[in-house]
């Protein structure tokens, strides 16, 4: 460490950040800059009375090099890395898709001393160019052994962070309810489901309205399967009322039930089943009325070709209570974020 006034001609070994409230926050002087006489007043204005002259010893790693190594070890498909800036590297989505984070391994990395690794919540849809994570060490230099340990954790749990592509599926929609089938009320469910699946690039095979009879639900489901449906959404009739026979209809069509009921509000009466490999979703009425519901949590994962298990549904309990904000900001919120 030497006084700033004696630093002319010295080479900076790290970025020096300047903060002007309301105006800027960024590096005033970058790593490698040769300090000049005219730089001294700026450094003093920044509160820098001294600077470090770093003498690297064997077995030590500079902050930029450490960040590069950690980010490379953690990044899976669909991830690109920014250049190091002030010792930090961003992990950026290089395509649209579903963000997947190995949360357990992420916690293990952050148990390491003098290093951090942060991400967005897992299991959310992200767009190309979105920053989904970042990593850096806390000191200017760190022991190589500590970085190798983090690299080992990442290699043993590959990938730590990735973007999984989402498929465009052909979707059949079955809407149950005597009141809709007989024209007593106008269907409001179909437009909501069609809008959401089309936002994800999926194609609607159409909507079939049926009365509350098990055999008609089975017939409608089988009809869409014959058309090559890759996902079927069955709307309405998901409560325990005597006339609500949608769950029975899905079972009778050969559905292998993963769950009937989910620890999510809104979305408690949700059903997920598979007929062979085709997911069949029983959507409760909340999907029609709420901007964000169980449908928004499950649909991206299905489109990323995940086989949803009962354990996956159970994990939704932590974060499964929607705050119903006046302006929905999902997925930039806590809804559905377990772990």
Q: Which of 98, 275, 312 has its CA nearest to residue 174?
A: 275
Q: What is the predicted pLDDT for the residue at 92?
A: 98
How far apart, in whole angstroms, are the C-alpha atoms of residue 299 and residue 283?
11
Q: What is the predicted pLDDT for the residue at 237?
A: 84
The pair of three-digit structure tokens given for residue 117, joined into one six-digit string: 């690794």
How far apart, in whole angstroms, are the C-alpha atoms of residue 58 and residue 141?
11
Query: 275 forms bridges with which residues in the sheet?
Result: 278
pLDDT tens column, 97-146: 999 999 999 999 999 999 999 999 999 999 999 999 999 999 888 999 99
**Rounded alpha-carbon distances, angstroms, from residue 226 to 26, 72, 194, 220, 278:** 59, 46, 20, 10, 12
Residue spans per domain, the chain: 2-51, 60-164, 170-315
The pair of three-digit structure tokens given for residue 169, joined into one six-digit string: 């599926």
DSSP three-state, residue 33: coil
Q: Average of pLDDT values for 54-73?
A: 87
Residue 53, pLDDT above cutoff 80: no
Enumerate residues 6+ apart whose C-beta is below 8 A from 296.
Answer: 196, 330, 336
Q: Which of 119, 138, 25 has its CA nearest to residue 79?
A: 119
Place of tokens 């009325």: 289
The pair of three-digit structure tokens given for residue 299, joined into one six-digit string: 């649909």
Q: Average of pLDDT values for 82-86?
A: 89
Q: Average of pLDDT values for 278-307?
A: 96
Residue 23, pLDDT above cutoff 80: no
Q: Is the peptide bond before 159 cis (omega within 30 degrees of 0)?
A: yes
Judge contact between 178 and 217, C-beta under 8 A: no
Beta strands in the chain (DSSP E): 2-3, 16-20, 24-29, 50-51, 60-62, 79-81, 89-93, 97-101, 115-119, 124-126, 131-137, 141-143, 161-164, 170-176, 203-210, 231-235, 256-260, 271-275, 278-283
Please state which architecture CATH assigns to domain 60-164: Alpha-Beta Complex (3.90)
Q: Average of pLDDT values for 176-183?
A: 89
Enumerate residues 6+ apart whose C-beta is below 8 A from 300.
Answer: 98, 123, 124, 125, 166, 200
Q: What is the predicted pLDDT for the residue at 19?
A: 78
How far apart, in whole angstroms, are the C-alpha atoms of residue 151 and residue 95?
25
Confidence of residue 12 (pLDDT cuts 50, 70, 90): confident
Q: What is the percent of the chain with per-residue pLDDT over 90, rounded to a whole number?
A: 74
How far apart, in whole angstroms, are the C-alpha atoms of residue 49 and residue 40?
9
Q: What is the predicted pLDDT for the residue at 60?
A: 86
Q: What is the predicted pLDDT for the residue at 55?
A: 63
Q: What is the dihedral of CA 284, 257, 172, 235, to 10 degrees?
A: -20
Q: What is the predicted pLDDT for the residue at 11?
A: 72
Confidence of residue 190 (pLDDT cuts 50, 70, 90): very high
Residue 22, pLDDT above cutoff 90: no
* CATH code given to domain 170-315: 3.40.980.10
Q: Average of pLDDT values for 2-23?
A: 80
Q: What is the predicted pLDDT for the residue at 56?
A: 63
For domain 2-51, which CATH number applies: 3.10.129.10, 2.60.40.10, 3.90.105.10, 3.40.50.300? Answer: 3.90.105.10
End-to-end CA distance of the chain: 43
Residue 310, pLDDT above cutoff 90: yes
Q: Kindly tell me the sign of the dihedral angle through the C-alpha atoms of 49, 55, 58, 61.
A: positive
Q: What is the predicted pLDDT for the residue at 16?
A: 83
Q: Average of pLDDT values for 206-231?
A: 97
pTM of the full predicted structure? Answer: 0.86
């Amino acid at each position: 460490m030497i006084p700033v006034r004696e630093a002319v001609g010295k080479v900076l070994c790290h970025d020096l950040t300047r903060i002007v409230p309301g105006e800027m926050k960024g590096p005033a002087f970058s790593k490698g800059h040769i300090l000049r006489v005219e730089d001294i007043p700026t450094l003093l204005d920044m509160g820098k009375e001294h600077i470090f002259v770093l003498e690297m010893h064997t077995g030590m790693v500079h902050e930029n090099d450490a960040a590069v190594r950690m980010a490379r070890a953690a990044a899976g498909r669909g991830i690109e890395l920014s250049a190091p800036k002030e010792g930090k590297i961003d992990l950026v989505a290089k395509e649209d898709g579903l963000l997947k984070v190995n949360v357990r391994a992420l916690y293990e990395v952050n148990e390491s001393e003098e290093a951090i690794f942060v991400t967005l919540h897992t299991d959310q849809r992200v767009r190309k160019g979105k920053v989904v994570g970042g990593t850096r060490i806390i000191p200017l230099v760190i022991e190589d052994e500590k970085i190798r340990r983090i690299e080992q954790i990442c290699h043993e749990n590959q990938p730590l962070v990735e973007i999984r592509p989402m498929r465009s599926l052909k979707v059949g929609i079955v809407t149950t309810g005597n009141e809709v089938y007989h024209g007593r009320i106008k269907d409001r469910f179909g437009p909501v489901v069609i809008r959401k699946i089309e936002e994800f690039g999926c194609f609607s095979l159409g909507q079939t309205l049926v009365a509350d009879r098990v055999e008609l639900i089975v017939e409608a489901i089988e009809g869409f399967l014959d058309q090559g449906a890759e996902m079927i959404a069955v709307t309405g009739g998901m409560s325990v009322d005597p006339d609500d026979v949608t769950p029975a209809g899905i079972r009778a069509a050969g559905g292998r039930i993963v769950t009937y009921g989910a620890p999510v509000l809104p979305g408690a009466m949700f059903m997920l089943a598979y007929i062979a490999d085709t997911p069949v979703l029983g959507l409760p009425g909340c999907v029609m009325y709420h901007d964000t519901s169980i449908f928004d949590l499950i649909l991206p994962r299905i489109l990323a070709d995940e086989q949803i298990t009962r354990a996956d549904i159970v994990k939704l309990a932590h974060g499964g209570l929607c705050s119903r904000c006046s302006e929905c900001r999902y997925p930039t919120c806590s809804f559905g974020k377990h772990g």
